[in-house]
C-alpha cells in the first residue's frame, strides 16, 4: 500500500536580536502606528548586524529541535528539502549546506525556490517522494535571512517593514497511518506573468556583469514589491484555493480545525477569514512577533500551534499562502 506522509516532529528558530517598529523608525520614515495598522507587525527577529548567519544556520537550529521531537537522528533522514528565497550563497543551495552542518556525508538535498509558498511546494514534493517510495524520512526546512538584503532607508520602507528572519522545520515520515490521515488534498499554482510584482533583480545571470555600480545605486539588489497588487491577488486567490482543496478532500469547511495561512499581512488573513466566514480563533496569526518570514512562516506557525495544543492527534489543518512568483497554494493535513 502507498505510504502516507506523517509529520513526526516540528521545530522553529528565530535569531535572538529583536527589531521593533520603533527601531525601524530610526532608520527610515515610518512609525509604529503605520506598521501595526497596515500589517499587524509589532516586531521581527533579525540576525546580528554584523552578519555571519545564513538561512542554513537558522534551519540547523530548528532541525535539531524537530529531529529530537521526531525521535530521529540526522542519519535517519533520507532526503532534505530546503525552501528559501534567501539562500546562504548564490549556489550551491542551502539544502547542501544544511546537510553537512547536520553531519551527513551523502544524504540527498534539494532546494525549492517558491518564496512564500516554498513550504507548500516542499510539502507536496516531500509527499510525492514518500508516496513513490523514493524517500521514507524527509526533513523539510523553510528558512530565510531577509535582513541582510533589505533597503532600510525610506526608499525601501514598504518591504523592509514587513520581513523577518527565521526558520521552521518539519520531519515527515512515510507510514501506514490508517484511513484519513496525512495529506488529504493539495493544490499548487503559479503565474509567472506576475514575477515582477515581487522580486530581487540582481545579481542577475542574464546580465554582464551580474551586478554593477548603476544597479547598486538604483537599489536593484533590494526586493521591490507592488504591495497593493499582491494584497488584492491574495485576498482573491486564498479563498479560491481553500475551496479547491476542500472540494478535493470532500470536506466541509467546518472539518478544518485550524487554518495556517502564510503570515504576509494580518489584514490579508483577516480578509481571508471573513471571506470564508470563519470564527477568529480558526485562523492562526503570529505575524505580530515575527513579521513575514516567507518560506519559514507556515512551519513556524505550525510548530507554535502544536506547542499550544491547538493542533494534535486527530486534528485537521489547512496550510495556504500566496507570494512571489506569483505562486499560491493550499494543503489539507490531518494528524493521525
Active site residues: 116, 262, 292
Among 82, 129, 222, 231, binds ligand UT7 (CB under 6 A): 231
In degrees, rounded to 5, the angle at the alpha carbon of residue 158 between the alpha carbons of residues 155 and 161 is: 110
Question: What is the DSSP annotation of 34-55?
Answer: HHHHHH---EEE---TT----H
Cβ pair 82, 76 in contact under 8 A? no
Provide the minimum distance between the beta carbon of 12 and ligand UT7 in the complex, in angstroms, as a whole number: 18
Among 4, 10, 30, 327, binds ligand UT7 (CB under 6 A): 30
Closer to ligand UT7 by Cβ: residue 75 or 191: 191
Closer to ligand UT7 by Cβ: residue 63 or 265: 265
Provide the minimum distance between the beta carbon of 313 and ligand UT7 in the complex, in angstroms, as a whole number: 31
Q: What is the DSSP letter of 187?
A: E
SS3 content of the chain, % helix, strand, coil (to 5): 40, 25, 35
Q: Count of residues binding ligand UT7 (CB under 6 A)?
A: 21
Provide the minimum distance between the beta carbon of 170 and ligand UT7 in the complex, in angstroms, as a whole number: 20
**Residue 181 phi/psi, 5° resolution?**
-115, 160
Q: Provide the mask over 190-209, with x wherever binding to ligand UT7 is found by CB under 6 A and - wherever it is not.
A: --------x-----------
The x, y and z cell numbers of residue 251, run together, are 470536506
Closer to ligand UT7 by Cβ: residue 34 or 335: 34
Q: Taking CB under 6 A as the rule, does residue 258 contact ligand UT7?
A: no
**Helices (H), ranges, the chain:** 21-27, 32-39, 55-70, 94-101, 118-132, 157-160, 213-218, 227-249, 266-275, 287-290, 297-307
Among 144, 158, 173, 304, binds ligand UT7 (CB under 6 A): 158
Residue of 182, 117, 120 lying closest to 316 (CA atoms):
182
Among 5, 39, 187, 286, binds ligand UT7 (CB under 6 A): 39
Closer to ligand UT7 by Cβ: residue 3 or 157: 157
Provide the minimum distance between the beta carbon of 294 and ligand UT7 in the complex, in angstroms, as a whole number: 6
- Residues forming the site for ligand UT7 (CB under 6 A): 30, 34-35, 38-39, 116, 157-158, 161-162, 198, 227-228, 230-231, 234, 264-265, 268, 292, 323
Amino acid at each position: 500500500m502507498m505510504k502516507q506522509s506523517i509529520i513526526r516532529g516540528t521545530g522553529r528558530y528565530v535569531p535572538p536580536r529583536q527589531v521593533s517598529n520603533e527601531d525601524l523608525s530610526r532608520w527610515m520614515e515610518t512609525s509604529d502606528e503605520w506598521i501595526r495598522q497596515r500589517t499587524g507587525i509589532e516586531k521581527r527577529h533579525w540576525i546580528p548586524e554584523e552578519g555571519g548567519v545564513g538561512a542554513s544556520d537558522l534551519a540547523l537550529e530548528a532541525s535539531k529541535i524537530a529531529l529530537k521531537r521526531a525521535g530521529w537522528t540526522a542519519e535517519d533522514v533520507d532526503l532534505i528539502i530546503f525552501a528559501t528565497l534567501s539562500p546562504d550563497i548564490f549556489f550551491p543551495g542551502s539544502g547542501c549546506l544544511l546537510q553537512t552542518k547536520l553531519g551527513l556525508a551523502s544524504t540527498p538535498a534539494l532546494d525549492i525556490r517558491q518564496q512564500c509558498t516554498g513550504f507548500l511546494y516542499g510539502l507536496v514534493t516531500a509527499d510525492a517522494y514518500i508516496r513513490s517510495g523514493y524517500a521514507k524520512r524527509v526533513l523539510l526546512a523553510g528558512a530565510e535571512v531577509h535582513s541582510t538584503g533589505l533597503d532600510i532607508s525610506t526608499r525601501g520602507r514598504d518591504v523592509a517593514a514587513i520581513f523577518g528572519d527565521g526558520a521552521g522545520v518539519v520531519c515527515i515520515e512515510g507510514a501506514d497511518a490508517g484511513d484519513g490521515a496525512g495529506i488529504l488534498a493539495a493544490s499548487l499554482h503559479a503565474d509567472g506573468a506576475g514575477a515582477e510584482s515581487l522580486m530581487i533583480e540582481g545579481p542577475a545571470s542574464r546580465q554582464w556583469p551580474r551586478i554593477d555600480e548603476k544597479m547598486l545605486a538604483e537599489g536593484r539588489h533590494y526586493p521591490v514589491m507592488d504591495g497593493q497588487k499582491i494584497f488584492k491577488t491574495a485576498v482573491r486567490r486564498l479563498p479560491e484555493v481553500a475551496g479547491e482543496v476542500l472540494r478535493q478532500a470532500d470536506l466541509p469547511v467546518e472539518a478544518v480545525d485550524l487554518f495556517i495561512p502564510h503570515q504576509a499581512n494580518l489584514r490579508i488573513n483577516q480578509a481571508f477569514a471573513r471571506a470564508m466566514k470563519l470564527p477568529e480563533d480558526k485562523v492562526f496569526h503570529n505575524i505580530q512577533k515575527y513579521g513575514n518570514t516567507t518560506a519559514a512562516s507556515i512551519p513556524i506557525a505550525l510548530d507554535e500551534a502544536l506547542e499550544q495544543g491547538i493542533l494534535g492527534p486527530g486534528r485537521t489543518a489547512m496550510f495556504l499562502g500566496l507570494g512571489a512568483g506569483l505562486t499560491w497554494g493550499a494543503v489539507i493535513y490531518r494528524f493521525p
